Structure 1
Amino acid sequence: MKLISWNVNGLRAVVKKDFLEIFKNLDADIFSIQETKLHQDQIDLELPGYHQYFYDAVRKGYSGTAVFTKEEPIKVTRGLGIEELDTEGRTLTLEFPKFYLIDSYSPNSQQDLKRLDFKLDYNDALHVYMKKLSTNKPVILCGDLNVAHKEIDLKNDKSNHHNPGFSDEERQKFTDLLDDGFIDSFRYLHPDEVKYSWWSYRFNARKNNAGWRIDYFVVSNNGKDLINKAEILNDIYGSDHCPIELDLNLED
């Protein structure tokens, strides 16, 4: 089973580019996106053979997640069940027979870390939620988590230390998640590979490959045997992020 995750930085904008062709060529079983920046009624997306599930932010043109899946899920859950964290369309969960898929667009801690506390609260709540679900069956978290975990995960680690996405507090929350029974699937299969999933639009960052790896597939330990392949598809354009891929082995 092939899973794709992509922060499209505006679904309507990327549809005007090559999104539909990319979507067709990737032929994913489950395609998760973040930062839709719309309400579902603002787009008519024809994806034959796929069920479509959106979780929109209350505020139009902001945040939002969506999942397109060939297999109809058993259950779809929007949000974490915490009112103050559930107005921005950040957490969309689909339950399938053999795993839960959580599509997450983690908050950006923003300049001067002015939204750090909100992000840490979100990370804590997501961690608890994932841990609870994982007692039932494997959990797969995908999305833009807005954190580069280690120095290997961004081009300019020294100059970005304490900046949004590379603060000690954000990195520690990700460490805490991994230490509590979860796996960074890309780093699990590629422990020393330098590859990025996001580049600033400024300073020719993508051309110079001055990027960050902030998009992830995180898998609970009880799903370790499901991990077959994890890749970063950095030859695909259309957003400031590139898609990432996780292939699962679901054979009995």
Structure 2
Amino acid sequence: MVLFTKKNDNPLMKINNLKLIVFYKKIDYIYKIYQKQFLLNISNNYSKSKMSNQNTDKKRYNCINENESYVIKKKTKLIPKINRENLNQNNINHYFSSKIKETDQNLNDDIKSKGSHIDTINKTDISYTKIIEKENFKDIQDKRKEHLDVTENISKINLIDTKNIIKTFSEENNSKDCHINKVQIIVTWNMNSITVRYKNKEKWKEFMNFFNKINADILCFQEVRLPALNLSDCKNNNDNVMRDRSKVKNTDQKSLVDFQIMDTILKNDFKNYNAYFSLANIKYSGQLVLIKKTIQLKSVRYNLSFNLDSNIHHDEGRVILVEFSDFFLLSTYTPNNGFDYTKFERRRLFDEELEKFVASLKNKKPLIWTGDLNIAPEDIDLSHPAEFRRMKKNDVPKEFIGQPGCTDFERKNFKKILSSGDLVDSYRYFQNLKSNKEDNKNKLNINENIYTWRCPFRIGKLCNKAMRIDHFIVSKNFLKNIEKVEIHGYSVFHNNFYGSDHCPVILYLKNIDKHDNTDNKFIQQK
């Protein structure tokens, strides 16, 4: 068989032809081995059958004529008669052995002849491989240089494109921040227990209708009255127990009920908001700030000192400060002044700390200070100023005489805070409210929406009396960014109070331009 009829000088083709020859030789060699194995199997099988049938043949042979040419076996099968000489086992084995030896000899001869061919092929392969490797190495080096040049050019182009993409992406993000992720509406509300409000299904439904209608970006809730999670076992609410004030307690049967209610509220009613808690040891005080998940914030602080870690909470959960790109939002539940010296001192310390804190914020960013501040700054903020101003318990100095929230002591401290932080009462500014002594003597405007707290009792000294003590106090240089401030509740029948003794207050912001530095002299004059 002629495999190659045409001369080919290509070294790769020669190597392939030689490999093909070796392949056919290997097939022939394997065939010879299988032939040898086959002959051995036949020899062994024949020997076994001969030994087993030897006795039977002898018996039957005596019963027949010696001249017959067939021998009778089982099942009346006739087979040709074989000479005794040829039936000898040694002769048969000798025959097969000779055949096997002959096959072995042929195999050995083939192996010797093929071995020389294989050596020749291997040597040829090596020589051709070396030649090809040298040629390929040169080609690879040339291609590598070309590839490096191309890669360098592509990298330069990609670097320019990447810079342009990053620039475009940042511009898009900035534009989105301006129109989508900016704070537009903030609501503050003293709930007087969030779980109690939720259990009154009718009132809660009314509140959720209001909430869904205005679509507030931030909700600041005071007096949520949820206990903080204790981090160790304790039988009583002692102050030495470590607590996580950013989480609601769920370690006993009573607290678990409130925890489950709060979990339901956050998952169903406020699922698009991130929740920030600051809670007291027991069901007292405490705050919750809800911020839309689409709004980016920079930091959250739970105390009134930059010398403390931001995650250290006020013991009664009265402070949450949120930093945004354009302003700070401070929500406080300011302590009630009460009627005794212990409460007076607590309020004084809180106001002094707050004054220093807002002064430190003044040169950083504008501030929006909101919450239940427990202060009616002027008599016009009282429904019955004469009655409110003379209330007292026991003998106390003159500056402490009056309903908590309207004493001279509290008003003096409040003015210091406004002055230190360069702050202004935004509602007073936009409503142009002015104190009028003649009007203050009469019970006027009791049903108008100018008060944020109304006495929850239908009988008693404070029946139908009201105060404006929930506020949005803002930096003077930030007033230009405020559209309006609304008090949501009205009437002695507590319309829009949703079961609490306080009503929501709403601040509407314009689109904020952080580079707008309008002169504020006209604000100070007003």
TM-score > 0.5, shorter chain as reference: yes
**Counterpart among 123, 126, 144 of residue 372 in structure 2:** 144
**1:183 matched to 2:405:** no
Change (3 A) 1:204 1:96: farther
Q: After the TM superposition, which of the residue ranges 92-101 and 152-161 deviates more from structure 2? A: 152-161
Partner residue in 1 for 2:360: 132
CA distance in 2, matches of 1:135, 1:10: 36
Structure 1 runs not aligned, ≥5 long: none
**1:68 matched to 2:251:** no
CA distance in 2, matches of 1:240, 1:65: 16
**1:122 matched to 2:350:** yes
Q: How does 1:43-192 map to 2 (within 5 A)?
A: 43-44=262-263, 45-46=266-267, 47-57=270-280, 59-70=281-292, 71-81=295-305, 86-112=314-340, 114-161=342-389, 162-180=402-420, 181-192=422-433
Q: SS at the partner of 1:24?
A: helix
CA contact (8 A) 2:354 2:417 kept: no
Q: After the TM superposition, which of the residue ranges 195-204 and 166-175 deviates more from structure 2? A: 195-204
**Counterpart among 203, 207, 213 of residue 25 in structure 1:** 213
Q: SS at the partner of 1:246?
A: strand
| Amino acid in the other structure paired with 2:300 | V
CA distance in 2, matches of 1:201, 1:49: 32
Q: After the TM superposition, which of the residue ranges 139-148 and 177-186 deviates more from structure 2? A: 177-186
Please say which structure displays the higher CA radius of gyration: 2
Q: SS at the partner of 1:247?
A: strand
Partner residue in 1 for 2:511: 250
1:129 Cα deviation after fit: 1.0
Q: SS at the partner of 1:60?
A: coil
CA contact (8 A) 1:51 1:69 kept: yes
CA contact (8 A) 1:140 1:219 kept: yes
Q: Show CA shifts across 1:175-227 (max 9, x none).
A: 2223331010000101228610001112369xx85210000000012212112
Quick check: which one's strand share is greater? 1
Partner residue in 1 for 2:477: 222
CA distance in 2, matches of 1:204, 1:75: 46
- The TM-score with structure 2 as length reference comes to 0.45
Structure 2 runs not aligned, ≥5 long: 1-183, 228-246, 249-258, 390-401, 435-444, 490-494, 514-526
| Amino acid in the other structure paired with 1:29 | D
Q: Show CA shifts across 1:27-71 (max 9, x none).
A: 1111111001004432212212211111111x2201011111111
CA distance in 2, matches of 1:199, 1:90: 22
CA distance in 2, matches of 1:12, 1:21: 18
Quick check: which one's helix share is greater? 2
Higher-RCO chain (CA-CA 8 Å, sequence separation at least 6): 1
Partner residue in 2 for 1:6: 189
CA distance in 1, matches of 2:364, 2:408: 32
**1:236 matched to 2:524:** no
1:98 Cα deviation after fit: 0.5
Q: Which runs of 4+ in 1 moved over 6 A?
A: none
Q: Percent identity?
A: 33
Q: SS at the partner of 1:69?
A: strand
| Amino acid in the other structure paired with 1:150 | E
1:109 Cα deviation after fit: 1.1
RMSD over equivalenced CA pairs, Å? 2.3
1:21 Cα deviation after fit: 3.5
CA contact (8 A) 2:351 2:417 kept: no
